[in-house]
Amino acid sequence: MTTVVPFKARGLRAVLRESLEQRIPMRFARERIQPGWIHGYVVGLSRDFCLIAEVGDAMRFDGYVVLVIADLSQVEEDPSREFVEKALAIRGEELAVPADFALDDWVSIAQSAMRHAPLVSINVVEDDAGEVSYIGQLAGIEHDALLLREVDPNAHWYPDTGDYGFEEIASIGFGTGYLDALWQVAGSPVDPLAPPARIDSRDRP
C-alpha cells in the first residue's frame, strides 16, 4: 500500500531529504508556476534548489530538471510508487546521478548542466504563458543574467544571444530525449556569434 505524504505535515525539506536518501519516486507541484505534476526522483538537494531525475509517461527516465524549493506547493510520494518502481526495473531503467552537480545558484546550475549535456533548457515565467522554455548553449554570464545562444524548434542556431535574468528563471532542464534529438539535428553552431547587440529572446518573432 502506498503512502502519500503531503510535505506540510512533516516539513518540506525533511520530505525532500528522505526521498533523496531512500530513492523514493515522488511528484512535485508548483501551482504558482505551472499546472500539473512533475514526476521523478530527487538526486540533488541544496538550501534553495533540488535536482530531479524526471520519469516520463512511458516509464523511462527522461533527463533532469532543477527546481526552486520555494516554488514547490506540494511534494508527495508518487501514489503509483509500486508500479513506477516495477516498470522502471522491467524496462532496465537505472537511476543515474550527475556527478559533482553544483546547486548553489543559477550560474553554477547552468554550468553544471552544460558539463553533462550539450543543450540546456532555461525555463522562465511569463505572465500570460506560465513557464516558457528557451533552449541552447550557455554563452556567457552577467552579474544578474545568463546568456544563451539559442537553437530554434527546427534545430537552427540563432546568430546572437538572449539574456535571462536570475529573477525570471523558474527551472533549468537538461538531458531529455527531446533535447538530445534537437542536438543530433542541430549539431554545434558553425557560424560565430554576432557582435554583442544582444536582444531579449522573448522579443524574437
Beta strands in the chain (DSSP E): 26-30, 34-45, 49-55, 61-68, 74-77, 120-126, 130-142, 145-151, 157-165, 169-174
Percent of the chain topping pLDDT 90: 81
- Residue 104 to residue 107: CA distance in whole angstroms: 8
- Residue 34 to residue 10: CA distance in whole angstroms: 24
Q: Is the pLDDT of residue 200 over 60?
A: no
- Residue 118 to residue 184: CA distance in whole angstroms: 10
C-alpha separations of 138 from 61, 68, 174 in Å: 24, 20, 12
This prediction has a pTM of 0.88
Q: What is the pLDDT of residues 141-167, one digit of tens each?
A: 999 999 999 999 999 999 999 999 999
Domains of the chain, first to last: 1-97 (2.30.30.100), 101-187 (2.30.30.100)
pLDDT score for 196: 53
Q: What is the pLDDT of residues 71-128, one digit of tens each?
A: 999 999 999 999 999 999 999 999 999 999 999 999 999 999 999 999 999 999 987 7
- Among 21-25, 58-62, 201-205, which is the least confidently predicted range? 201-205
Cell of 126: 511569463
pLDDT score for 6: 46
pLDDT score for 8: 45
